[in-house]
């Protein structure tokens, strides 16, 4: 038998309790409509929240009910009229986790399902998550995490420990980290002079990795290189800048700029072993960071000192 159901909420942000609620509702009805309560003063825009709910629940219909300047409380009796405007068809079931949904169900001539066990299994709260998302990270669904996440990117010349540091920080604070895509690209490319389009391929691969891994990463997304560093590579390899590549730069919250004053480690995938060239590379990166007004911390000293400096930066980002 076909049955329809309605769930009402702000979902600001949606959390694992909401995920469990909606999944349970999918076993109770054949057609589910999620009514997203919104207002112009919401801290997170209705469009963003609607996108999250559609990503999380592609089988449901998500409708935004924007009540103007001020939000309408979920227990307001006017919700029955509002929902009827969006959903004139018969509503069989109203699913929620609060007692006031009983009255809403009565007003809609529907059966109520109050799923209190959801909060026993997933004691999450949107207000608390919004106030301190890092403290409630495990309650935030994958698709929602990038909104709250901070991005910390490692840049520097070759053989300065970018990959090691990204991995080290991810293991200490929660990963995975975003690896440099340029290395696997270099390993399998056809030998010869670099073409400009190849640098775009590298950025394509790197961005795709970042978008995927950000869903599983911790509060800080650790990243080994990015489009800004690839733009500097273009200058080193091609002898010129690529404005169309630089247009793709998306600055992270912060960079760690690793200097070149550490021993060179031989690697067949590396290009610039001479110290004078490494210094030139470093200065180009620093100039690029300054050009774009990027936030960054210079990391120097021996390996232990570098790790200590990086940890302090992460702890500061976590506490902000």
- Asked if 253 and 151 count as a contact pair (C-beta separation under 8 A), the reply is yes
Local structure of 152: helix, strand or coil: strand
Whether residues 183 and 131 share a domain: the answer is no
Domain boundaries, position 31? 4-135
Whether residues 120 and 187 share a domain: the answer is no
Residue at 61 is within a domain? yes
Whether residues 112 and 175 share a domain: the answer is no
Beta bridge partners of 9: 36
* pTM passes above 0.75: yes
Whether residues 9 and 51 share a domain: the answer is yes
The CATH number covering residue 99 comes to: 3.40.50.620
Residue at 90 is within a domain? yes
Q: What is the total count of domains within the chain?
A: 2
Spatial distance between the Cα atoms of 139 and 146, rounded to a whole number of angstroms? 14
Q: Using one digit for the tens of pLDDT, what is the confidence trace for 235-286?
A: 999 999 999 999 999 999 999 999 999 888 776 666 767 889 999 999 999 9
Residue at 308 is within a domain? yes
Residue at 140 is within a domain? no
Q: Give percent helix, percent strand, percent coil of the chain, each to the nearest 5.
A: 50, 15, 35
The CATH number covering residue 194 comes to: 3.40.50.300
Q: Using one digit for the tens of pLDDT, what is the confidence trace for 191-246?
A: 899 999 999 999 999 999 999 999 999 999 999 999 999 999 999 999 999 999 99
Whether residues 123 and 153 share a domain: the answer is no
């Amino acid at each position: 038998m076909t049955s329809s159901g309605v769930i009402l909420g702000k979902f600001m942000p949606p959390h694992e309790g909401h995920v469990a609620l909606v999944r349970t509702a999918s076993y109770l009805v054949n057609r589910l409509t999620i009514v997203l309560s919104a207002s112009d003063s919401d801290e997170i825009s209705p469009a963003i929240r609607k996108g999250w709910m559609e990503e999380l629940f592609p089988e449901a219909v998500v409708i935004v009910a924007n009540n103007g300047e001020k939000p309408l409380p979920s227990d307001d009796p006017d919700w029955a009229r509002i929902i009827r405007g969006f959903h004139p068809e018969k509503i069989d079931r109203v699913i929620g986790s609060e007692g006031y949904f009983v009255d809403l169900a009565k007003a809609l001539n529907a059966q109520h399902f109050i799923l209190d066990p959801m909060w026993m299994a997933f004691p999450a709260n949107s207000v608390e998550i919004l106030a301190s998302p890092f403290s409630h990270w495990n309650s935030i669904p994958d698709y929602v995490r990038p909104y709250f996440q901070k991005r910390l990117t490692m840049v520097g010349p070759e053989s300065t420990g970018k990959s090691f540091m990204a991995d080290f920080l991810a293991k200490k604070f929660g990963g995975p980290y975003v690896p440099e895509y340029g290395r696997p690209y270099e390993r399998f490319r056809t030998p010869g002079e670099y073409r400009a389009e190849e640098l775009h391929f590298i950025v394509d691969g790197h961005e795709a990795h970042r978008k995927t891994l950000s869903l599983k990463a911790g509060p800080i997304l650790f990243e080994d290189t990015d489009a800004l560093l690839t733009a500097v590579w273009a200058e080193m390899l091609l002898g010129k800048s690529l404005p169309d590549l630089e247009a793709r730069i998306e600055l992270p919250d912060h960079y760690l700029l690793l200097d070149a004053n550490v021993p060179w480690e031989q690697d067949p995938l590396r290009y610039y072993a001479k110290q004078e060239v490494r210094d030139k590379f470093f200065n180009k990166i620093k100039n690029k960071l300054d050009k774009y007004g990027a936030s960054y911390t210079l990391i120097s000293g021996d390996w232990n000192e570098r790790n200590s400096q990086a940890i302090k930066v992460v702890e500061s980002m976590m506490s902000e």
